[in-house]
Amino acid sequence: MVPPSTKTNVYKNWERKRYNLTSSQRDRYRQISHESYQAKQLAEQGKLAAIHAINIPNLDPTVLMPQLTASSYATLSLFSGGGGLDLGFEQAGFQHSGSYELIPICGQTLQANRPQWQVCSGPEQGDVTRVDWQPYRGQIDVVQGGPPCQPFSVAGDQAGADDERNLWGEFVRAVNTIEPKAFVAENVPGLMSTKFKSFVQMYILAPLPNYHIMKFELNAVEFGVPQIRRRVFFVGFRSKQVAQTFHIPQPTHVWSEPSKKQQLTLNFATLASVKQPTMGVRGALGLPDIGNDAIAPTLRSGFTGKRNTTSILNSAASQKNWASLQIWPNGVQKDRQAAAAFPAKNGHFRLSVQDCAILQGFPESWQFQGAVYQVLGQIGNSVCPPVAYQVAKAVRAALESQKN
């Protein structure tokens, strides 16, 4: 096991390497940041006319995950981040037994929202590599977590097992020590690529021989979240019978462009009879009708892009999608008042962290702690809670089917 101090240094070195900029790039970023700072100063002094009203969102993500009755099933959360998976499991009626997370601000978010939860965060309490899981043995029904995805993300180097941040071994160690009835692990779709086929076999499937494991991909847009966000899930059950009763969550929602709704009346009507329509971004955020709406491109994950950035841009290509929605994806503000008072140069709508949270499926009541870039990091790293909810609900149904 790598000592924590060394791990931290490795992480810092990796970050330094990753954000190595040429001097002209650095000058350009400085200039943009200077211009943006000046515009923000003017906005704060009330010298810029507010060009958009404060929006009132139409989408309340709690409707996508109505609270289920409490069950007696206990969950333990590893790599908890800002709580996407934890919230989904809670809504599905699981009893929260503890969260383990390295970054202190994530722990603060969890504790601020759920003071009654046991939250272990920071390098001393929250680092899963240092936890002895024995006391949890036999006490937990479901272990859940999303080991860091950077080693497998197409946005990174895809070094897999050679990346120090590959912590699948720690997830496996927790499951094998605790021996829960089931586990749920989440990651980026990159992990399903042929490149990682032997990694999955060697580091996930083979070391968990006592579990019957299913892997599948879900897209958040198919569960009512106005964002294209594909994620891979590994669900394992100790009992073969229980595993056989598990059903992969099926889409509950469907997105159809408003312009196409007319042409596809028949199809849409057929689909709508079993699936609800997913709202577009503008509809979800309560923005004025511009005759065009769409699903958001994937929001940037917390550890890609420029350090401490307040942008949600995941790729240069997605800039075009945001522009067609007349939404400015950079310089996200701490609240809607600040966003309305700081118009984007091109007149497009400026986002607040609350808007980004809704686009990720977090209810407005879930309050993230930290500076804007830290909140965006927690949002972008999370499993959309309505998706987590569907997986948790399916796991619960399987466990309940064999109860008697």
| Cβ at position 180, least distance to ligand SAM in Å | 16
- 124 is written with which tokens? 């001393």
Determine, following the binding rule CB under 6 A, whether residue 136 of this chain makes contact with ligand SAM.
Answer: no
| Cβ at position 168, least distance to ligand SAM in Å | 11
Kindly tell me which residue out of 85, 140, 174, 359 binds ligand SAM, with binding defined by CB under 6 A: 85
Could you tell me how far CA 186 lies from the centroid of its own chain?
10
| Cβ at position 56, least distance to ligand SAM in Å | 26
Our answer to whether residue 149 is catalytic in this structure is: yes
Please, are residues 120 and 98 in contact by the beta-carbon 8 Å criterion? yes
What are φ and ψ of residue 212, in 5° steps? -95, 115
Rounded CA separation 263/314 (Å): 32
Rounded CA separation 236/241 (Å): 12
According to CB under 6 A, which residues from 149 to 168 bind ligand SAM?
149, 167
Q: Is 46 exposed, middle or buried (0-12, 13-18, 19+ CB in 10 A)?
A: exposed
Determine, following the binding rule CB under 6 A, whether residue 146 of this chain makes contact with ligand SAM.
Answer: yes
CB nearer to ligand SAM: pick between 143 and 344: 143
According to CB under 6 A, which residues from 164 to 193 bind ligand SAM?
167
CB atoms within 10 A of CB 125: 15
Please, are residues 95 and 399 in contact by the beta-carbon 8 Å criterion? no
Residue 170 in 3-state DSSP?
A: helix
Please, are residues 71 and 182 in contact by the beta-carbon 8 Å criterion? no
Please, are residues 73 and 399 in contact by the beta-carbon 8 Å criterion? yes
Rounded CA separation 52/339 (Å): 9
Q: x/- string (CB under 6 A) for ligand SAM, residues 63-82?
A: ----------------xxxx
CB nearer to ligand SAM: pick between 188 and 287: 188
CB nearer to ligand SAM: pick between 85 and 395: 85
Determine, following the binding rule CB under 6 A, whether residue 370 of this chain makes contact with ligand SAM.
Answer: no
Residue position matching structure tokens 């197409």: 154
CB nearer to ligand SAM: pick between 141 and 170: 170
Kindly tell me which residue out of 14, 100, 117, 233 binds ligand SAM, with binding defined by CB under 6 A: 100
Please, are residues 282 and 289 in contact by the beta-carbon 8 Å criterion? yes
Q: Is 256 exposed, middle or buried (0-12, 13-18, 19+ CB in 10 A)?
A: middle
Beta-ladder partners of 78: 100, 145
Which range in 32-40, 141-149, 228-236, 391-399 contacts ligand SAM by CB under 6 A?
Answer: 141-149
| Cβ at position 110, least distance to ligand SAM in Å | 9
Kindly tell me which residue out of 106, 191, 372, 376 binds ligand SAM, with binding defined by CB under 6 A: 106
Residue 97 in 3-state DSSP?
A: strand
CB nearer to ligand SAM: pick between 4 and 286: 4
| Cβ at position 31, least distance to ligand SAM in Å | 32
CB nearer to ligand SAM: pick between 83 and 329: 83
Determine, following the binding rule CB under 6 A, whether residue 98 of this chain makes contact with ligand SAM.
Answer: no
Determine, following the binding rule CB under 6 A, whether residue 127 of this chain makes contact with ligand SAM.
Answer: yes
CB atoms within 10 A of CB 57: 19
Kindly tell me which residue out of 74, 128, 218, 341 binds ligand SAM, with binding defined by CB under 6 A: 128
Which of 106, 120, 149, 356 is an active site residue?
A: 149
HSE of 361, CA atoms in CB hemisphere, 13 A: 35
According to CB under 6 A, which residues from 373 to 392 bind ligand SAM?
381-383
CB nearer to ligand SAM: pick between 102 and 340: 102
Could you tell me how far CA 197 lies from the centroid of its own chain?
24
Total binding residues for ligand SAM by CB under 6 A? Answer: 23
Rounded CA separation 179/404 (Å): 20
Rounded CA separation 156/15 (Å): 11
CB nearer to ligand SAM: pick between 175 and 327: 175
Kindly tell me which residue out of 83, 305, 343, 380 binds ligand SAM, with binding defined by CB under 6 A: 83
Determine, following the binding rule CB under 6 A, whether residue 102 of this chain makes contact with ligand SAM.
Answer: yes
Determine, following the binding rule CB under 6 A, whether residue 148 of this chain makes contact with ligand SAM.
Answer: yes
Mind telling me the catalytic residues? Answer: 149
Binding site for ligand SAM (CB under 6 A): 79-85, 100-103, 106, 126-129, 146, 148-149, 167, 381-383
